[in-house]
Each structure stands twice: as C-alpha cells, then as structure tokens.
Amino acid sequence: MKRRNFLKAIGAGAVAAVAAPAGAMAARNRPSLRYIRPPGSHDEETFLSKCINCGQCGEVCPNRCIKFFGLQNGASSIGTPYIKAREKACILCMKCGDVCPTGAIPKIKREAKAVIEGVKMGHAVVDRELCLSWQGKTCGVCYRACPLADVAIRVGRLEQPHVLNDCVGCGLCERTCIQMPQAIRIVPNHGTGNG
C-alpha cells in the first residue's frame, strides 16, 4: 500500500470513529463484500496475520485484478489485497506468490497440478435459472474462459456448465458470463460477505 493511501485510510478511520455511532462502527468492521484473496493465499486468519500490506502482489499482477481494501471491509482488512471476480478475475499467473515477502501468498508453480492442489480461492456455483445453457440456449462462455476446462468445469448438452471439485475459484467464468446478473458466481472460501 502506498504511503499516501495508508495515511488517507488512517485519517478516514479516525474521522469515522469520531463521527459514527458505536452500532454503525461495529457494522463497518464486519466484512460485507464478496471477494476472493489472491491465488494460494492462506486461510483468512493466517493470511491477515502474515500480510504486511506491502502492495507487491498488486504491482506484479499482469491482469491488474488485485486491489487493496480501504475501510470498506473493516479495520482488519485495511491495505490487504483482494479480487472482485466480476470486475476483473485472476488469470492464475502465480506471480503474486513469487513476490510476497512474508508467505501470506505462498509460491506455487504455474503448473496445473500445483495450481489445483495449492489454490483454493473459492468455488464456482451455477444458477440454472439464470444460465442460458440451462434455459435451452447454447452459451458455453464460462467453459471457454476457464483455464482448467474439463478439470474445473465441463459442459453437457447445450454447453450446460457442470462445476467440478477441482475448481480453484479464479473467477474467470464469473467475469465472462454474459448474463446480468451473472449466472455463475464464485463463492469465496473465506466465507465472508454475500455481495
């Protein structure tokens, strides 16, 4: 996190603490966003204890999908990296783990087996009521976007998507879904939010 942004976040937090009633402050500290952590990140508690908010993961990300929390996800998340798949998904380049100085995002080789074993960002879920292929119209966009096609997702008749156990939750399926709202969404493994 850049120093200027850090100071802004601290200043905004101080103003909010003085201005907000206790109930509103408690609500602000509860995670409310649906997000995923960078690929390979530890469980939420371990991740938060190891992440030093250096910002290197976001700087190295070639897809520019890694963002950093301000106050919107509670005080414990300030400056930590996150990804909102619908806005910009992870391409599983695994560069973020290569530069993480603390191991909050462990190094994982960019090989299918290593990624499947080491990355558990979340899991895709299909809403059959919204999915065009499940409504009788061939689509298959999510399948073609998946970097682990036939391993994480397969398609049936009319390209109906079936998410498999090896889905790592990168979010490329959610990002490319042409439905509004999206018919396939990533349910984060850290279990926060529903947004």
How confident is the model at residue 21, as a pLDDT?
43
- Residue 113 lies inside a defined structural domain of this protein: no
- What global pTM score does this model have? 0.79
Instruction: For residue 178, give every residue at least 6 positions away whose Cβ sits within 8 Å of its Cβ, in sequence order, or none.
Output: 132, 139, 141
Residues 151, 182: contact at Cβ < 8 Å? no
Claim to verify: residue 10 and residue 80 sit in the same structural domain: yes
Expressed as residue numbers, the domain containing 128 is 120-188
The last residue of one of the domains, among 99, 132, 151, is 99
User: Is residue 54 a part of any domain in this protein?
Assistant: yes
Please give the structure tokens belonging to residue 142: 């999510």
51 vs 81: CA distance, rounded Å: 9
The CA-atom distances, in angstroms, between 149 and each of 33, 162, 172 are 28, 11, 11
Q: Over its length of 195 residues, how does the chain's per-residue pLDDT go in tens digits?
A: 555 555 455 554 544 444 444 444 433 444 456 899 999 999 999 999 999 999 999 999 999 999 999 998 889 899 999 999 999 999 999 999 999 999 999 999 999 999 999 999 999 999 999 999 999 999 999 999 999 999 999 999 999 999 999 999 999 999 999 999 999 999 998 744 333
| Helix pair 3-19, 22-29: axis angle to 10 deg | 140
Task: Quote the number of domains for the chain.
Answer: 2
On whether residue 60 sits in a domain, the answer given is: yes
The CATH number of whichever domain residue 173 belongs to comes to 3.30.70.20
CA 58 from centroid of its chain's CA atoms: 13
Same-domain status, 127 and 178: yes
What is the pLDDT at residue 6? 52
| Whether residue 13 is found in the same domain as residue 76 | yes
